[in-house]
């Protein structure tokens, strides 16, 4: 008997159709996309390496959640405080500067009552951390002299016509050797935390930038980590009582709260990171060059890495990814992210730059428009 021929099962894969947002809609409604790639900083590279879709939301559509990210806000305050401590400013000035910086950072956000209370407590915590740190380490970088602060660097990459840009907060010198410093706030510090820094994109990019600007590779990075409170407020405790208890804990366990690690820069590890950056950016640049604007603005053309969705709590773009077919309905929960560099402005078209600055100026009241460029 003749065997019946099996019918081949055909699987049709349909390309997901997402209504591409017209530039005008985004512009009027919320945000202006960057459709060119002219520069990369460490955050862009880190996001690209974490998840392509995350890169798309943050660096192509230029979105950021309209709810304040208190972790980011807290880190920025401590960072500023350390910079001022390095400049030997008295604590009263630092405290005032933190109040002002906090206000500035919170301008685009509306805070509900719960968040406002949290902001007050966290601001006091940040000040306490800095105050106690200053008491215990009156001379932060003993034996080092400050060679330069706020050094901007720009290096043209080899595999693509894109600039690697960034700012070195502080460059130190000791016996003619350069050193860099970096400060972070963290809640959990595991054993691998410092081991991983050997190939960390951020500090190795800074080493590349320093070599470019000063003509020699820095020897090491003094990496300071400030741990957030490991004690929490009791239900019956007042804010003042909690802060007093926290201050006592800072004094009692300084080695738990303040960690410093000396990370040496090796030529091989810096070279290895530079290669990672080159290829990641080459990958990105090819995409920008190959896709037309509609395709570039389609999130389905940016692959997801679902392992990263819950890396640190929930990814801020989870809502958009979860509802990707209708993501434009959820854009009201997002706003345009801060455009920090002139190079980034160049990634937007002229017409869009003007409207972006206009919108931002209205929002923050701190931007001036001059010949199509932003000045702070």
Q: How far is the CB of 306 from ligand SF4 (least distance, A)?
A: 5
Which part of the chain contacts ligand SF4 (CB under 6 A), choosing from 101-109, 220-228, 309-317, 364-372?
A: 309-317
Residues 30-59, mask of contacts with ligand SF4 (x by CB under 6 A): ---------------------x-xx--x--
Smaller CB separation from ligand SF4, 147 or 304: 304
Q: What DSSP string runs through 93-109?
A: HHHHHHHHHHHHHHTT-
By the rule CB under 6 A, 127 interacts with ligand SF4:
no
Smaller CB separation from ligand SF4, 63 or 180: 63
Smaller CB separation from ligand SF4, 26 or 130: 26
Q: How far is the CB of 307 from ligand SF4 (least distance, A)?
A: 8
Burial class (CB in 10 A: 0-12, 13-18, 19+), 283: middle
Smaller CB separation from ligand SF4, 23 or 309: 309
Determine the Cα–Cα distance for residues 273 and 204; give it in Å rounded to an integer: 7
Q: Which of 39, 78, 94, 315 binds ligand SF4 (CB under 6 A)?
A: 315
Other CB atoms within a 10 A radius of the CB of residue 196 amount to 9
Determine the Cα–Cα distance for residues 348 and 351; give it in Å rounded to an integer: 8
Q: Which of 99, 318, 363, 375 binds ligand SF4 (CB under 6 A)?
A: 318
Beta strands in the chain (DSSP E): 39-40, 63-65, 145-156, 163-174, 177-186, 220-227, 258-264, 334-336, 368-370, 373-375
Q: Take residue 209 and report the two structure tokens written for it.
A: 């930038």
Q: Take residue 256 and report the two structure tokens written for it.
A: 């738990």
Which part of the chain contacts ligand SF4 (CB under 6 A), choosing from 98-106, 225-233, 304-312, 351-359?
A: 304-312
Contact between 38 and 157 (Cβ < 8 Å): no
Give the residues across from 336 on adjacent strands: 63
Contact between 281 and 46 (Cβ < 8 Å): no
Smaller CB separation from ligand SF4, 45 or 221: 45
Residue labelled with tokens 């902001």: 119
Smaller CB separation from ligand SF4, 133 or 317: 317
Determine the Cα–Cα distance for residues 141 and 120; give it in Å rounded to an integer: 30
Q: Which of 99, 135, 150, 306 binds ligand SF4 (CB under 6 A)?
A: 306
Q: Report the site for ligand SF4 in 183-222 (rule: CB under 6 A).
A: none
Q: How far is the CB of 286 from ligand SF4 (least distance, A)?
A: 20
Smaller CB separation from ligand SF4, 59 or 246: 59
Cα angle, residue 350 at apex, residues 349 and 354 outer, rounded to 5°: 115
Smaller CB separation from ligand SF4, 58 or 374: 58
By the rule CB under 6 A, 157 interacts with ligand SF4:
no
Q: How far is the CB of 302 from ligand SF4 (least distance, A)?
A: 8
Residues 319-348, mask of contacts with ligand SF4 (x by CB under 6 A): --x---------------------------
# residues near ligand SF4 by CB under 6 A: 13
Q: Which own/partner contact pairs does 268-274 have at CB distance under 8 Å and 24+ positions apart?
A: 269/198, 269/199, 269/204, 270/204, 270/207, 270/208, 270/211, 270/217, 272/199, 273/199, 273/200, 273/201, 273/204, 273/205, 273/208, 274/204, 274/208
Smaller CB separation from ligand SF4, 57 or 265: 57
Residue numbers at the binding site for ligand SF4 (CB under 6 A): 51, 53-54, 57, 304-306, 308-309, 315, 317-318, 321
């Amino acid at each position: 008997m003749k065997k019946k021929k099996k019918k081949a099962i055909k699987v049709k894969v349909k390309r997901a159709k997402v209504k591409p947002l017209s530039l005008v809609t985004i512009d009027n409604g919320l945000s202006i996309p960057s459709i060119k790639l002219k520069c990369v900083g460490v955050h862009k590279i880190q996001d690209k390496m974490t998840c392509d879709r995350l890169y798309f939301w943050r660096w192509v559509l230029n979105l950021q959640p309209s709810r304040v990210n208190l972790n980011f806000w807290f880190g920025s305050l401590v960072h500023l405080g350390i910079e001022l401590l390095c400049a030997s400013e008295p604590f009263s000035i630092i405290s005032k500067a933190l109040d002002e910086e906090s206000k500035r950072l919170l301008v685009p956000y509306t805070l509900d009552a719960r968040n406002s209370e949290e902001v007050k407590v966290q601001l006091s915590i940040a000040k306490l951390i800095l105050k106690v740190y200053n008491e215990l380490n009156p001379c932060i970088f003993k034996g080092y002299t400050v060679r330069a602060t706020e050094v901007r660097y720009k290096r043209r990459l080899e595999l693509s016509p894109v600039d690697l840009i960034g700012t070195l907060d502080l460059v130190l010198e000791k016996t003619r050797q350069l050193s860099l410093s970096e400060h972070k706030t963290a809640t959990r510090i595991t054993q691998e935390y410092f081991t991983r820094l050997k190939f960390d994109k951020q500090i190795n990019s800074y080493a590349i930038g320093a070599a470019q600007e000063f003509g020699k590779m820095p020897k090491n990075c003094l990496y300071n980590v400030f741990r957030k409170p490991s004690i929490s407020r009791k239900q019956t405790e007042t804010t003042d009582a909690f802060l007093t208890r926290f201050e006592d804990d800072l004094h009692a366990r300084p080695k738990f709260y303040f960690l410093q690690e000396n990370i040496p820069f090796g030529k091989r590890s810096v070279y290895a990171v530079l290669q990672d950056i080159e290829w990641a950016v080459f990958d990105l640049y090819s995409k920008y060059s190959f896709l037309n604007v509609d395709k570039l603005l389609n999130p389905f053309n940016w692959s997801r890495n679902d392992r990263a969705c819950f890396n640190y709590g929930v990814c801020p773009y989870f809502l958009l990814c979860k509802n990707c077919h209708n993501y434009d309905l959820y854009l009201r929960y997002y706003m345009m992210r801060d455009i920090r560099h002139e190079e980034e402005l160049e990634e937007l078209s002229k017409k869009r730059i003007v409207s972006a600055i206009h919108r931002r100026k209205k929002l923050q009241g701190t931007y001036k428009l001059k010949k199509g460029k932003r000045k702070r």
